[in-house]
Chain A
């Protein structure tokens, strides 16, 4: 629809025109716009003409609104029409300050998008999600297309369901279906079916609900995504269809293992474990999965049972566990699961020792493998060119001897001595000449040039090999991280030193605070008239703490006498000051140091994380280069050996 960007006139259900504002979002079905003058509502305009059935559904939905539904969902409030009377979209409440649920359940985005969220928060948000599901179910609705894009969460763990116009609704005895679904939230009994015309039930929803709760409680892991021990691929949909719950009591029989570094099911209280087992059981389609209300009750109890980890204030878990599951996970993976930045002085969540294990288990690429092969070096056969060259050169001597032999033979004939001498000399000259001519025809220049070209090529390849396949870049980055590790350890020392300095400054600060308690305005000093007092104040001299000679001399019209009296006033007050070491120190000072340390730590932590990624990348790049450059290197090496051997053979 071309009118989508600048929609034509849209009317509300009472026939009043609406002014659409900025485009807020775009989905598969349509576009959402602001409504000018009504910031609490938005308009969704469909990109395809609306079927009468769909329009009727929206009207029915608007009619069935209740305060509960409105609190937990972005329920359609009315149908929007074109002036022609054709339905074009719907009006619904604006949901502000909420974020996609995947931002909450993935640890990586949780740290930045939900900085205060710990496991209590996740349990609470999951319980709130159940409230939303229960409300829809009790209004005889079915969410049907349960998925991670349909739930928004606020910073206070309240939840809103969106995309409500796709829900399955029953109103006045008529059922409006939902034609879509997302496989990884679809129960086994519906896997592979066509959703169009399919009647959905709350029991189907309750599968998707259990998956969402699992994602929230288990750090974004899908209950059916595990390590499959059989052969072949095991996509999540297939695992759902075949009831292979990776964390369940039957996981071994299902040939599934939870992924490494994940928490086991028994970090939950027994009642919640039972709910998951029931939700993902083979007979759940028949026997019925836990309802939203059952989940809600169990999660509310769970939240009340949580205790804080003794080691980390951002960790909450059920009581009675041998150790904190989040400490174990963070220790095993080096990943901070929850943000601990909520308060200054919170226990550190970045465990460098645990993280360092990741760095040490990363196997270095090792020394540069050699391209040189001493065995090949001794066995290199001469090239056909060199062999031909040598063959041809072997004939030089016989040919020259043969040519020289003719005049020489004449020397043996009975001739005068002079003539004999002439033939001998002629023979020698001929011999030399023939040898020279033959040699000139067989030049070694070609071999010299070949040798140089291949030597240079080999040198080039060797340099590239050293640069790209050598461990240098990896080792250097690794050494850099070692250095940072030293800096991290020094932080504790720096912190204690700063704290000690603060303690030393404690008396100075206490004295100052004491002096600040005496205002110049109340001072009884001869000659210090009210007008002089206000003059002092305008120069920033307000309390006894501000009195000092230098400052007073800058004030106009203040004589030596008056200045001396003022200093004496201050001294008299100061004599009454008694330092009390037991008094708590200025909290702000300590806060400042702690904050500074946090900043340092955060920066170093980011460096470590980046460093680990770099090491991983460098290692893979080096290993890749070793494979991809090896053939070329070997070829260049052999070519160079060959050219050198040939040259040696022909110049011998």
Chain B
């Protein structure tokens, strides 16, 4: 550490906790159609998510969460470890600008990776988790191309979850992996699964495939 060396912003975060990072981005549909029970269940699911992650000390240091909601597109939180993550209370309003949410979210991932690299912190392949009950109301073709390119370069893994009412046809044109259909409103099961999967990944070796538990919350 020479005297003249610049310390980039964010260095304190990594000086304090230099563990490899396992970033996970949630893209959540909060459009009008989610109003009522669905959004309530989603909020409950996010609270469960935090609780379950908190039980795993290693995951608490390695997993990083970010949330972007759409309807309208908004960054609810940028990447941060679960101890700092406060489960939000989402409300529903507006249309479904899914394309803009995906593009914005993928940009956040690019920036986060650059920060990891600048700070010499190893990282796992990021996860992007899209949850929607509708169809995009904006143009999504460019976002779909970004998703395809990113998956091909192994830049991230993109998973789409279709809630009842979602346009599965468009989702399967956005996501390279086949979209999973949420059975009923089992958001809590979904997030419990996501938490244990992230715990699992954060204990695994970077760059090695991990066999995840079958998603019990999905329709077969």
Contacts and interface: CB of A to CB of B under 8 A. Distances in A.
B89 interface: no
Chain A CB within 10 Å — which of B5, B12, B100 has the most?
Answer: B12
Nearest to B3: A328
B17 A332 contact: no
Interface string B1-21: 100011111111011111110
Contacts of A332: 1, 7, 11
A620 B6 CA distance: 21
Contacts of B16: 106-108, 333, 335
A621 B68 CA distance: 10
Given A260-B6, A263-B1, A628-B73, A333 B11 contact: yes
Given A260-B8, A332-B7, A628-B104, A106 B18 contact: yes
Given A227-B117, A361-B9, A108 B14 contact: no
A109 B205 contact: no
A222 interface: yes
Given A103-B57, A225-B120, A225-B121, A621 B75 contact: yes
A625 B15 contact: no
B119 A260 contact: yes
B58 interface: yes
A616 B84 CA distance: 12
A632 B139 CA distance: 13
Contacts of B77: 617, 621
A473 to B, nearest CB: 13
B7 A236 contact: no
A624 B104 contact: yes
A182 B73 CA distance: 41
Nearest to A267: B1
Given A103-B57, A235-B122, A261 B7 contact: yes
B52 to A, nearest CB: 15
B142 interface: no
A236 B20 CA distance: 10
A237 B74 contact: no
Interface in B79-116: 80, 84, 100-101, 104, 107-108
Contacts, number: 147
A358 B58 CA distance: 26
A101 to B, nearest CB: 11
A100 B8 CA distance: 30
Contacts of B207: 183, 235, 237
A237 B18 contact: no
B164 interface: no
Nearest to A186: B205
A411 to B, nearest CB: 64
A629 B118 CA distance: 29
Given A328-B1, A628-B104, A225 B15 contact: no
Interface string B44-57: 00000000000001
Contacts of A333: 7, 11-12, 15-16
A428 interface: no
Interface in A154-208: 182-184
B73 to A, nearest CB: 4
Interface in A228-281: 228, 235-237, 246, 257-264
B100 to A, nearest CB: 6
Interface residues of A, number: 57
Given A102-B61, A235-B207, A628-B73, A259 B121 contact: yes
Contacts of A259: 14, 18, 119-121
Interface in A617-635: 617, 620-621, 624-625, 627-629, 631-632
B146 interface: no
Nearest to B58: A102
A16 interface: no
A222 B122 CA distance: 9
Interface string A455-472: 000000000100010000
Interface string A388-418: 0000000000000000000000000000000
Contacts of A468: 74
Nearest to A259: B120
Contacts of A617: 77-78, 80
B72 interface: yes
A258 B122 contact: no
Interface string A73-111: 000000000000000000000000000101100111100
Given A102-B58, A261-B15, A333-B11, A625 B74 contact: yes
Nearest to A220: B18
A103 B68 CA distance: 31
A106 B74 CA distance: 33
Contact of B75 (A182, A220, A337, A625): A625
Nearest to A361: B9
Contacts of B76: 621
Contacts of A103: 57
A590 interface: no
Given A262-B1, A335-B15, A627 B72 contact: no
Given A100-B57, A629-B72, A246 B120 contact: yes
A617 B1 CA distance: 28
B206 interface: yes
Contact of A235 (B1, B100, B108, B206): B206
Contact of A362 (B9, B15, B78): B9
Contacts of A227: 117-120
Given A109-B61, A227-B118, A264 B72 contact: no
Contacts of A102: 19, 58, 61
Contacts of B84: 613
Nearest to A355: B12
Given A236-B206, A260-B119, A613-B80, A107 B9 contact: no
Contact of A236 (B5, B73, B122): B122
Contacts of B9: 358, 361-362
Interface in A352-377: 355, 358, 361-362
Nearest to B76: A621
A329 interface: yes
A141 interface: no
B17 A106 contact: yes
Interface in A84-142: 100, 102-103, 106-109
13 contacts: A102-B19, A106-B17, A182-B205, A220-B17, A221-B18, A258-B120, A261-B1, A332-B7, A333-B16, A335-B15, A355-B12, A358-B9, A624-B108
5 closest residue pairs by CB, A with B: A259-B120, A624-B75, A333-B15, A620-B78, A261-B11
Interface of A: 100, 102-103, 106-109, 149, 182-184, 219-222, 225-228, 235-237, 246, 257-264, 328-329, 332-335, 337, 355, 358, 361-362, 464, 468, 612-613, 616-617, 620-621, 624-625, 627-629, 631-632
Given A107-B15, A109-B61, A261-B119, 9 more contacts: A106-B19, A260-B8, A260-B118, A260-B119, A261-B11, A621-B74, A621-B78, A625-B75, A629-B72
